[in-house]
């Protein structure tokens, strides 16, 4: 399963890309609004660092506006993927942009029916928001299971990009279900590394080594 970083923060992207575990980045207007500087320049810099798919979201809400904005964002860098919100306009814009060879991530997906329509429009990625479903007492990961099953039934090439990830067990569950990608905020990536027994184990190895070597001197 590929791991994407869900952020517009250059420092976090540099940190986790340097480790070698990040395959791409997703941004959205809320995340970009937190960062100082020109969003185009930030997007370009992200592409240079990650050298994988980087989702940049349109702000337009009508079909023509989404297509125009999508074409423009796609000129920033070949790694840019155009993120469009799900809806009639988003699905139509997705179909049009895909016909021009521009990759599209259909976002704000909350049902299997929506994911089916995104795939029919040729979406490169579909982004179901699991955390926001959990927030309203609906099982977000159950939606991932349904989408994976539907896409497998019909051989859709759209990749399932699990978004709105809040904790490490979302990532583990996504991997067990065969989702293609999980996009995670930096704290969730950080939590994937952690296990108290690893820390205790390293500490014990070093103490044992020091005790034995000290006794030999
Ligand atoms: O990429 C968008 C998505 O991951 C949002 O997450 O935590 O705001 O629901 P959240």
At 38-53, the pLDDT tens digits run: 999 999 999 999 999 9
> Using a 6 Å cutoff on CB, does residue 27 contact ligand 1?
no
> Using a 6 Å cutoff on CB, does residue 129 contact ligand 1?
yes
**Residue 209 burial (CB count, 10 A):** 10
**Above 80 in pLDDT, residue 128?**
yes
Taking the centre of ligand 1 as the mean of its atom positions, its distance from the CA of residue 96, in whole angstroms, is: 26
Q: Look up tokens 């500087």; give the residue.
A: 37
| Concatenated DSSP letters of 47-110 | HHHH-S-EEEE----SHHHHHHHHHHHHTS-TTEEEEEESSHHHHHHHHHHHHTT--EEEEEE-
**Above 90 in pLDDT, residue 216?**
no
Residue nearest to atom 5 of ligand 1 (CA): 164
Could you report the per-residue pLDDT of 129-171, keeping only the tens digit for each? 999 999 999 999 999 999 999 999 999 999 999 999 999 999 9
Query: Are residues 126 and 161 in contact, defined by beta-carbon separation less than 8 angstroms?
Result: yes
Pocket test for ligand 1, best of 7, 81, 132 (most atoms within 8 A of CB): 132
> Using a 6 Å cutoff on CB, does residue 69 contact ligand 1?
no
Query: What's the rounded Cα separation, in Å, for the pair 92 and 105?
Result: 13
**Above 90 in pLDDT, residue 116?**
yes
**Residue 57 burial (CB count, 10 A):** 24
Q: Look up tokens 């997705």; give the residue.
A: 94
Could you report the per-residue pLDDT of 163-188, keeping only the tens digit for each? 999 999 999 999 999 999 999 999 99
Query: What's the rounded Cα separation, in Å, for the pair 49 and 22?
Result: 10
End-to-end CA distance of the chain: 49
Return mean pLDDT, the chain.
Answer: 97
Could you report the per-residue pLDDT of 37-95, keeping only the tens digit for each? 999 999 999 999 999 999 999 999 999 999 999 999 999 999 999 999 999 999 999 99
pLDDT recorded at residue 22? 98
> Using a 6 Å cutoff on CB, does residue 26 contact ligand 1?
yes
Query: What's the rounded Cα separation, in Å, for the pair 45 and 23?
Result: 15
Who contacts 112 (Cβ-Cβ below 8 Å, separation ≥6)? 143, 146, 147, 150
Region 23-38: mean pLDDT is: 97
Q: List the beta bridge partners of residue 183.
A: 4
Query: What's the rounded Cα separation, in Å, for the pair 108 and 86?
Result: 6
The closest alpha carbon to 160, from 143, 172, 137, belongs to 143
Task: Write down how long the chain is.
Answer: 217
Pocket test for ligand 1, best of 26, 33, 164, 188 (most atoms within 8 A of CB): 164
- Domains identified in the chain and CATH numbers: 2-216 (3.20.20.70)
Whether the pTM exceeds 0.75: the reply is: yes
> Using a 6 Å cutoff on CB, does residue 56 contact ligand 1?
no
Residue nearest to atom 10 of ligand 1 (CA): 164
pLDDT recorded at residue 214? 83
pLDDT recorded at residue 217? 76
> Using a 6 Å cutoff on CB, does residue 55 contact ligand 1?
no
């Amino acid at each position: 399963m590929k791991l994407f970083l869900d952020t517009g923060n250059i420092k976090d992207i540099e940190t986790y890309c340097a480790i070698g575990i990040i395959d791409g980045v997703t941004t959205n207007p809320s995340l970009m609004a937190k960062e100082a500087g020109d969003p185009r320049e930030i997007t370009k810099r992200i592409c240079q660092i990650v050298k994988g798919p980087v989702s940049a979201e349109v702000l337009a809400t009508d079909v023509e506006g989404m297509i125009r904005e999508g074409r423009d964002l796609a000129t920033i860098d070949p790694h840019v993927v155009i993120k469009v919100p799900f809806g009639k306009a988003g699905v139509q814009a997705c179909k049009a942009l895909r016909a021009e060879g521009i990759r599209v991530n259909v976002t704000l997906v909350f049902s299997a029916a929506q994911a089916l329509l995104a795939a029919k429009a040729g979406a490169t990625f579909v982004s179901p928001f699991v955390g926001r479903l959990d927030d309203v007492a609906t099982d977000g990961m159950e939606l991932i299971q349904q989408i994976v099953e539907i896409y497998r039934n019909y051989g859709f090439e759209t990749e399932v990009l699990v978004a709105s990830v809040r904790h490490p067990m979302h990532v583990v569950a996504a991997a067990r279900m065969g989702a293609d990608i999980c996009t995670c905020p930096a704290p969730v990536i950080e939590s994937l590394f952690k296990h108290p027994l690893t820390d205790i184990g390293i500490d014990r190895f070093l103490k044992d080594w020091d005790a034995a070597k000290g006794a030999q001197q």
